[in-house]
Structure 1
Amino acid sequence: MPPIGNPKWTIPLDKHLALLTASGIRNGLKHGKMDSKDLSSSNHAQDTDSGFAGTLKNIQLNDLIQMCCLSASSLCMRVSKGQRQGTIFIVDGEIVHAACEDMAGEEAFYQILGWQTGSFESIEVSTTPQRTIDKSYHFLVMEAARRVDEQNLKMAQPSSTTSHTSTDVSDERLRVLIVDDSPMMRKILASILTTGDMINVVGMAGNGKEAISMIDQLSPDLVMLDVNMPVMDGTSTIKHIMIEKPCPVVIMSNPGDALSKKIFNFLELGAVDFIGKPKKSQDILLQQKKIIERIKLAATASVNNFSIVRIPKAKAFTPSEAACRRLVIVLSGPGGHPELLNLLCGLVPSMAELDGAVVALQGLPPSFQKPLAQYMNERCGYPALPIDHETILRAGQCYVGMHGGPLTVKMNGHNPIIGTQGPKDERESIDCFLESAALTFKKNLVVVLLSGANSGEQSGLRAVKDQEGRVILRKRSSSMVSSPLDPVAESGLVNAEVNPSDLIKTIVAGFKPNA
């Protein structure tokens, strides 16, 4: 399959933005053709409110779809090739439905994108059809390109009955590219990763420009990326990676308040995880173990499932001073940051209507707790507070914490309290936290697991189930990092595994109004 950045398939991000600004795609791309080699427009008289009508040439259909998705547009695109016709529905930048002849959903989408020439027009629709597509547009466009390539290859290759056996023995080690402007740090990281026989450092780059070239040559399984670098910094580099040749990216830096917001931005651009750089003052063997574990987990990420954070218009609500009566605990880890923000934007106000609160635990270092709460306040517009000492859980609030920190829930009179107490071991702490929450809220508790969520040894989830609470999984096939969710799904403790679009409805529907 050609890399997603090949001119045949896409347009670089800066050109995307320029095209979106220049063409006013949000306001109505009306008619076009896809069968010529230059760019021109018609001279038809235009009504001031009707948008643009014209001819786009030397542009692929998937280019247009990516522009619409990147600009968070909502439209229906009708595509014609001869007597054949298909439609693609895009809502807020997400492909939700496609229909072609007697097909609907993903297969219809692939059928339409398999047409190399044709014409298109955007049409207005009054209602959105039932959703038949849940995959991200990244995945859909790449899979469509792969299918076209596969078909072209079959047509180009002569039939042969001769079989060829390769004598090469493949290297099954994880292929990692290290990108850091410090030669010393590159050596340290390479030494840490290659101590065992599971990881092969296939290259090291001093800046983003070098990294982009090396990714094309080496096709690594994972890229470890620094934040601040000369020539091309980490932000520009990850944009290029995610558009041109998507692969799992782990950000490595020294955590601090000044960098926190930038790290969150990286996670929203598609980075799977963040890891702090190793420090001389800490146990190097323990650091090595944690880094290797996280790298191996991040490498399993399905980056095609990455979905850009879409912040909906916030519901107007006022947090209550009353103690919450219902609680939702959302656990997320590597790959789960965009999923967390997308969920909480609608979940927090929905729980406020039920006198409920939300506790969100993310798999980042403890120093990110306060910055993440502040970031959620600013980015999403709902009240978010870091968990600190003993805090009353109030209706309509979101409380932010990190995996691995000691947490517990208990009653203080008529008020449920969340506090920073309990064991410091990460796996044991999540079990103790869930057990205490289950005893406190019983059937009025829901635990939601997103990508990469650490659920400990499952004794906490078992306590939730025993107390008639609920455990809900985000559908694993839509998650970036699904492997930590597999043992939970197989445990029999899960009440439902649902699509991202159905999570809030499923959570809210299970709470009885008078419970």
Structure 2
Amino acid sequence: MGTKYASSSAHPTHVDSGFAGTLKNIQLNDLIQMCCLSTSSVCMRVTKDDRIGTIFIVDGEIVHAACEDVEGEEAFYRILGWQTGSFESIEVSTTPQRTIHNNYHYLIMEAARLVDEKAGLESAPSATAKGSREEPADDRLRVLIVDDSPMMRKILSSMLTASNRIKVVGMASNGEEAISLIDELSPDLVTLDVNMPVMDGTSTIKHIMIEKPCPVVITSNPGDGSSKAIFNFLELGAVDFMSKPTKNQDILVQQHKILERVRVAATATVGNFRIARIPTAKTGRTASKPIDRACHRLVIVISGPGGHLEQMILLSGLVPALAEKDGAVVAIQSLPSSFSEPFARYLFERCGCPASPIGHEASLFSGRCYVGNHGWPLAVKMNGDEPAIVPKAREEGLVQVDRLLTSAATVFKQHLAVVLLSGANTGEQSGLRVVHENGGRIILRKRSSGMVAEPLDQVVEAGLADEEVNPADLLITVLNGFGRNH
């Protein structure tokens, strides 16, 4: 909606009254969303020529609107249909009787639809033109939000619907409600909380994957000790994980990350998911015997949405096999940085894979796995005769994965292999090009067998993939390639 308003505070300027000032060319619907997101209580008086309308927001919900001779939603839509005007905030002394019951996302979207519809009718060549006009297909991504917190459902819904490509078709407070709504609504994607009453997230995702498979993104707080549960969800078929929004971080940055994760996860071919058993380490033994000897070969394994389980399975066999070839592995995953240490511990506990998070400069030793995050600034360098991986300072405009691949290719040259799994983000691909220029190999998991192929498609289209192999052949392909290098 393009409605623009000038605004001035209705409060006197004495102390404790807040600020007085003017906002020019602001859209009324944006201001309403801001008030709702911040759970404010305010009355807005909107003026257009000699017409006056009021909108009441209480604790972030639009509860009442009045304009001329009408109240409720009709009044709300009439006010937001004005193309110009002014508004002022008025202190709410008493809460009016509720006349509006729909949530604010629906109200704002419906208001925008009515404005567009009116504009379309006015611009039509003839009001009596023959023939009917078909409604445009709604190709927005249909999302179901599942979370036991009403506030979190509201926040997630607001963030998702900020994109005109996403439609929140339903919200559920527990797994039982979610299963019922999935049958009824057939969403394109489900965001799923971990801990809920009635039916928790674990039981819910099992039901989803068995009865009506669709892409599922797990939502939780990384700091609440739920990391092991998250890995279990990924093993059960969840495409990805994303942190719940928090107040102490930039809300727009968080919104951008959430929208991108949902967009990519929605492309997942869930039918390709197969529950696979990760090899378990024998009690008291590790799957490989790392020694403090500098590695001479390096494999960088990058995964993304849909590729988390693929990475765990590959690493369980790749790390011990490389120990015999003086090789090491750097595993780059797209989970939050706080998950690197739990992920390394999980690899060791599940399959005896000697893994450690990259928290400081570390020498790259044979038979070891070093776990990093896609957003971390990492680089490979030589310390005398020993290669090392080093956390670096962030540089504006530099894509972190490109820096890592470029530096690794410079050090290891033809003794470097890059393995790209489902959803692997390869930045701007400048790093992959340097890998090629230095004789390294780029190996892709076969796209038709994985969950998220979109990022890998871009690598193939750029002509940067040396081999694309079935998942069962990845390990032998990596090892045989090193056998050809002298």
Is TM-score (shorter-chain normalized) higher than 0.5?
yes
Output the CA distance in 1 between the equivalents of 2:327 and 2:270.
33
- Give the letter aligned to residue 497 of structure 1: E
Indicate the SS of the match to 1:510: helix
**Residue 327 of structure 1 pairs with residue 294 of structure 2:** no
- Please say if residues 403 and 426 of structure 1, whose CA atoms lie closer than 8 Å, have aligned partners that are also in contact: no
> Structure 1's 189 and 257: CA in aligned 2 closer, same or farther, altered over 3 A?
closer
Aligned Cα root-mean-square deviation (Å) = 1.8
Instruction: State yes or no: 1:293 paired with 2:264.
Output: no
Structure 1 residues 151-185: Cα deviation after superposition (integer angstroms, max 9, x where no partner): xxxxxxxxxxxxxx996643110000000101111
Distance 1:464 1:505, change over 3 A: same
After TM superposition, the structure 1 = structure 2 runs for residues 235-250 of structure 1, keeping only pairs within 5 Å, are 235-250=202-217
Structure 1 residue 253 and structure 2 residue 253: aligned?
no
Give 1:197's aligned residue. 164
Q: Corresponding residue for 1:317?
A: 288
Q: Secondary structure at the match of 2:169?
A: strand
Deviations 1:321-352 (A, max 9, x none): 11000000000010111110111111111111
Output aligned runs, 1:445-464, within 5 Å: 445-464=416-435
Contact 1:354–1:513 under 8 Å retained in 2: no
Whole-Å separation in 2 of the counterparts to 1:207 and 1:427 = 41
Is 2:365 the partner of 1:398?
Answer: no
TM-score (norm 1): 0.66
Instruction: With the length of structure 2 as denominator, give the TM-score of the two structures.
Output: 0.70
> Counterpart of 2:482 in 1: which secondary structure?
coil
Could you tell me which runs of 5 or more consecutive residues in structure 1 were left unpaired when the two chains were aligned.
1-164
User: 1-side partners of 2:290 and 2:437: how far apart?
Assistant: 31
SS of the residue corresponding to residue 447 of structure 1 reads strand
**Is it true that 1:353 corresponds to 2:308 in the alignment?**
no
The one of 169, 176, 179 equivalent to 1:212 is: 179
Separation in 2 of the partners of 1:303 and 1:175?
16
Q: How does 1:3-402 map to 2 (within 5 A)?
A: 169-256=136-223, 258-312=225-279, 317-402=288-373
Partners of 1:175 and 1:200 within 8 A in 2: yes
* Alpha-carbon distance change, 409 to 293 in structure 1, aligned in 2, over 3 angstroms: same
Shift of 1:307: 2.2
The more displaced of 325-334 and 421-430 is 421-430
How do 1:424-439 and structure 2 match up within 5 A?
428-439=399-410
- Write the letter of the residue equivalent to 2:366: A
| 1:494 positional shift | 1.2
Percent of paired sites with the same residue: 65
Q: Which moved further from structure 2: 169-178 or 428-437?
A: 169-178
In 2, Cα distance between the equivalents of 1:424 and 1:513?
Answer: 37
CA gap 1:396/1:426 in 2 versus in 1, 3 angstroms: farther
Using the alignment, how far apart are the partners of 1:166 and 1:197 within structure 2?
22
Distance 1:339 1:512 in 2: 24
1:257 positional shift: 5.6
Report the 3-state secondary structure (helix = DSSP H, G, I; strand = E; otherwise coil) of the residue aligned with 2:478: helix
Cα displacement (A) at 1:284: 1.0
C-alpha change, 1:418 and 1:220, in structure 2 (3 Å) is: same
Q: 1:189 to 1:301 in 2, by over 3 A?
A: same
Distance 1:317 1:404 in 2: 29
Select the structure of larger CA radius of gyration. Answer: 2
Residues 451/424 of structure 1: CA separation in 2 closer, same or farther (3 Å cut): farther
**Pairwise CA distance, 1:258:** 1.0
The alignment covers a number of residue pairs equal to: 351
Distance 1:175 1:459, change over 3 A: same
Measured against aligned partners, the alpha-carbon deviations of 1:39-74 in whole angstroms (never above 9, x if no partner) come to xxxxxxxxxxxxxxxxxxxxxxxxxxxxxxxxxxxx
1:192 counterpart SS class: helix
Q: Cα offset for 1:317?
A: 3.4
Alpha carbons of structure 1 residues 303 and 427: separation in structure 2 relative to 1, 3 Å: farther
Q: Deviation per CA, 1:10-52, whole angstroms, max 9, x where unpaired?
A: xxxxxxxxxxxxxxxxxxxxxxxxxxxxxxxxxxxxxxxxxxx
By how many angstroms is 1:426 displaced?
Answer: 8.9
| Contact 2:144–2:191 (Cα < 8 Å) also in 1 | yes
Q: Secondary structure at the match of 1:512?
A: helix
